[in-house]
Each structure stands twice: as structure tokens, then as C-alpha cells.
């Protein structure tokens, strides 16, 4: 209504503009205010906003253009317009005459906007249909992926349980850290798979087993850490002893080389004779010293070889312990991964059960409503049949009453006829008696 009022005011302003020399700015402001109020009020209703928004926007654009043209006019142009009103009137009227087809073609704009809205609604419906199709396809793919994931989880859990049972059956402190081979016999495999399938729904049991497995691996890791610490301590002591022995060996070698190089060349005859006498005198002492040093060197070399062998053995034991720790950590990570997969599988099963429950509840409600409708239809049909039977009984009772009346009438007629017959017989008897008398 306000939009129509604003349009009527604009028409009135245009009519005034045709009679006068120009368009009053106050009427333009009033028309624009009315148009703004119309737009504000039309914002409460979506359909009216769609119908009038285009026309209102064009009206605003034209009014702003008119105001800008009037503001850009120079004072000299305005003075000339006062002196020559006949020349300014056609320009203003030409600018304002553009509003007339917009006002006259408002219904066409509205129809065009309604057609666009209808087209957008149809496109929205098509998009919704496509979205439903994509969601349905996504649901099917999700179901397939869920089944495949469940099969993979069951297969991997079967292999993990078999390997865990084999690992637990072996002693903890064994040095052989080779990976146990899973049992490949088909009856045991099917038995383990059936056990895993039966225990997949029991989340508490899974959690307890995973906690026990985690504690077992933690104890193994602690034991191996203690072994590694002791081996490292022994290794450090052995390396220290080896370094001490190497230092002593080097010292003995330096002493032996110094004693061997203690002979002095280029002596005089007297000194050489004196040296020869001393060498011959102390020859046995040098030989004994050399033999003793050789024996010490051999002992030190043997000790060094044994220490190197012990170091190699300790390094091998340390590497084996590290491998066992890595294997235990890997098994713990695999157990955590299996736990996560089991939790995800349980969550998927829970969501599937919720979906099945909702679907069954909907089906039950539909069946109950259908049963109630059938019961109501049967009740109406039985009521109609009962009314028909009551009408039939009423008609039959009426017929019986009529027949009883006819029977009573016939009985009365029969009785009257019997009485008449008896009277006739009496008259005949009396007549026969009179005839006999005659």
C-alpha cells in the first residue's frame, strides 16, 4: 500500500511538473522518503520485496541522477534558467518523463521478477534433488567402505592375536628375537576369526586386553632398558680397562725400543772393548728382559683380543636388546593402532545401530498408523454392516408383524367359516329331521 501511495505521489509530482516550469526538490525528497519507507516496509515480506525492489532501485537511480544534475548546474546556468524557463522545462521533463514508463510498466517488472523467482525455485529444487542423489550415493559408498574396513580389521586382528599368542608362549628373556610366524592352518584361522567376530561388540573386554598387553610390553621394555644400562656400564668399564692396557703396552714398547736403540756406534777401541765386555757380561740379563717383555706383550695382546671380543659381544647384545625394544615399541604402536581402529569400528557400529533403530522406529510408527487406519476402516465397515443388519431386522420384523396379522385374520376367517359350517350342518340336520318326519 505504501509503495502504491509513493507511486501515486510521484505521478502527482509529474503532473505538477508538466504544468509548472520545474520539479520541486522537496517533492522529490518526499517521494524518495516514501520510496525508502516502502522499501523498509516491504522488507518484512519476501514476495513484496522481490516484486518492488527492481522498480524502487531504478527510481532511486533516476532521482539521484536528477539531484546530481541539479547540483552540477552552475549559478550562471541557474540564472539563465530563471531568465529562460521555456528552455529548461523540456530538459527537466525529459529527465522526469523516464519515470513514466517505469511506473506504467510496474506490472511487467513484477511479472518478470515472479518468473525469475519461479525459475530460481525450480533450479533450487533440481539442486536439492541432485544433493539427495549424491547423499544416497555417498551413503552406499560409506556402507561398502565400512564393510571392507570391517573385513580388513578382522583379518589383521586375527593375525595379531595369533602372533601375540605365539610371542607370549615363548620365554621373555630369550635371545632369539626373530618374528614369530602366524599359524596358517584353516581351522585355527576360522576359529580365531569367529572368536574376534564374537568379541568385537564387547568394548570393555577389548580395552582390558589392550591394557594388559600394554602392561606386558611396558614390563618388557623396562627389563630391556635395565639390561641395556648394565651392558653399557660393563662396556664402559671394559673400554677403560682396554685403554689402560693399551697405554701400558705402548709404554712397554717405548721402553723396549729405547733399550734396543741404546747401542752407541763409532766408539774408540778402548770404549768398544769396554762396551763389548759389558755386553757380554750383561747378555743374559738383556735376553731375560727381552723374553719377559715378549711374554708381557703376548699376554697383553691376548688380553686385548679377549677384551675386543667381549666388546663385540656386548655390542651385539646391545644391538639385540635395541632390536627387541624397537620390536616391542612397534608392537605397542600396532596395538594402539588396532585399539583406535577397534574404537572407530565400535563408533561406526554404534552409529549404524542408531540409524537402524531410527529406521525401525519409523517403520514401526508407520505400521502402527497403517494398522490404526485399517482398524478404523474395519470399524466403519462393521458399523455400516451392523446398521444394514439392523435395518434388515427392522424390515423383517415389520414383515413378520404383517404376516402375523394376516395369520390372525385368516384364523378368524377360518373360525367364522367353521362356525358357519357347523350352523349349516345343524340346519341340514334339522331339515333332514323335518323331512323324515314328513
Q: Are the CB atoms for 103 and 8 separated by under 8 Å?
A: no
Count CB-CB contacts under 10 A for residue 417. Answer: 10
Q: Are the CB atoms for 242 and 322 separated by under 8 Å?
A: no
pLDDT at 260 over 80: no
Q: Is residue 132 helix, strand or coil? A: helix
pTM of this prediction exceeds 0.85:
no
Residues 130-154 pLDDT 10s: 777 777 877 777 677 767 776 666 6
The size of the chain, in residues, is 438
pLDDT at 44 over 70: no
Residues 199-234 pLDDT 10s: 455 566 666 766 776 677 677 677 777 777 777 777
Question: What is the C-alpha to C-alpha distance for residues 246 and 263, in angstroms, rounded to an integer?
Answer: 27
Residue 87 confidence (pLDDT): 40
Q: Are the CB atoms for 28 and 64 separated by under 8 Å?
A: no
Which of 224, 234, 231, 213 is CA-nearest to residue 322? 224
Q: Is 235 exposed, middle or buried (0-12, 13-18, 19+ CB in 10 A)?
A: middle
Kindly state the DSSP code that residue 72 receives in the 8-state scheme. Answer: T
Question: What is the C-alpha to C-alpha distance for residues 89 and 310, in angstroms, rounded to an integer?
Answer: 118
Q: Is residue 170 helix, strand or coil? A: coil
- How many helices (H) and strands (E) are present in the chain, helices listed first? 11, 0
Q: Are the CB atoms for 98 and 62 separated by under 8 Å?
A: yes
Amino acid at each position: 500500500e505504501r509503495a502504491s501511495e509513493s507511486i501515486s505521489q510521484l505521478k502527482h509530482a509529474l503532473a505538477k511538473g508538466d504544468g509548472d516550469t520545474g520539479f520541486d526538490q522537496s517533492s522529490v525528497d518526499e517521494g524518495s522518503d516514501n520510496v525508502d519507507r516502502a522499501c523498509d516496509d516491504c522488507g518484512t515480506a519476501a514476495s513484496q520485496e522481490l516484486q518492488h525492489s527492481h522498480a524502487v532501485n531504478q527510481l532511486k537511480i533516476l532521482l539521484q541522477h536528477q539531484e546530481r544534475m541539479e547540483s552540477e548546474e552552475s549559478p550562471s546556468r541557474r540564472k539563465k534558467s530563471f531568465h529562460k524557463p521555456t528552455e529548461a522545462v523540456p530538459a527537466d521533463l525529459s529527465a522526469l518523463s523516464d519515470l513514466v514508463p517505469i511506473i506504467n510498466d510496474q506490472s511487467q517488472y513484477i511479472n518478470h521478477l515472479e518468473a525469475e523467482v519461479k525459475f530460481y525455485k525450480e533450479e533450487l529444487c533440481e539442486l536439492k534433488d541432485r544433493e539427495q542423489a549424491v547423499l544416497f550415493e555417498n551413503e552406499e559408498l560409506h556402507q561398502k567402505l565400512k564393510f571392507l574396513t570391517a573385513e580388513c580389521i578382522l583379518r589383521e586382528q586375527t593375525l595379531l592375536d595369533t602372533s601375540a599368542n605365539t610371542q607370549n608362549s615363548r620365554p621373555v628373556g630369550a635371545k632369539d628375537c626373530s618374528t614369530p610366524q602366524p599359524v596358517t592352518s584353516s581351522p585355527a584361522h576360522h576359529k580365531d576369526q569367529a572368536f574376534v567376530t564374537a568379541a568385537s561388540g564387547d568394548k570393555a573386554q577389548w580395552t582390558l586386553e589392550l591394557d594388559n598387553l600394554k602392561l606386558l610390553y611396558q614390563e618388557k621394555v623396562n627389563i630391556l632398558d635395565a639390561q641395556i644400562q648394565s651392558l653399557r656400564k660393563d662396556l664402559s668399564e671394559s673400554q677403560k680397562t682396554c685403554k689402560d692396557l693399551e697405554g701400558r703396552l705402548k709404554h712397554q714398547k717405548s721402553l723396549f725400543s729405547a733399550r734396543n736403540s741404546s747401542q752407541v756406534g763409532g766408539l774408540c777401541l778402548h770404549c768398544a772393548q769396554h762396551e763389548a765386555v759389558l755386553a757380554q757380561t750383561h747378555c743374559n740379563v738383556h735376553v731375560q728382559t727381552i723374553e719377559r717383555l715378549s711374554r708381557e706383550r703376548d699376554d697383553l695382546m691376548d688380553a686385548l683380543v679377549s677384551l675386543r671380543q667381549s666388546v663385540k659381544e656386548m655390542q651385539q647384545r646391545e644391538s639385540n636388546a635395541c632390536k627387541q625394544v624397537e620390536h616391542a615399541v612397534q608392537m605397542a604402536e600396532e596395538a594402539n593402532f588396532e585399539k583406535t581402529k577397534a574404537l572407530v569400528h565400535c563408533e561406526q557400529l554404534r552409529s549404524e545401530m542408531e540409524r537402524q533403530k531410527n529406521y525401525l522406529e519409523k517403520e514401526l510408527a508407520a505400521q502402527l498408523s497403517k494398522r490404526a487406519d485399517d482398524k478404523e476402516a474395519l470399524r466403519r465397515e462393521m458399523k455400516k454392516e451392523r446398521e444394514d443388519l439392523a435395518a434388515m431386522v427392522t424390515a423383517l420384523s415389520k414383515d413378520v408383524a404383517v404376516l402375523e396379522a394376516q395369520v390372525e385374520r385368516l384364523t378368524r376367517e377360518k373360525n367364522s367359516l367353521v362356525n358357519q359350517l357347523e350352523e349349516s350342518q345343524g340346519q341340514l340336520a334339522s331339515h333332514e329331521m323335518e323331512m323324515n318326519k314328513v
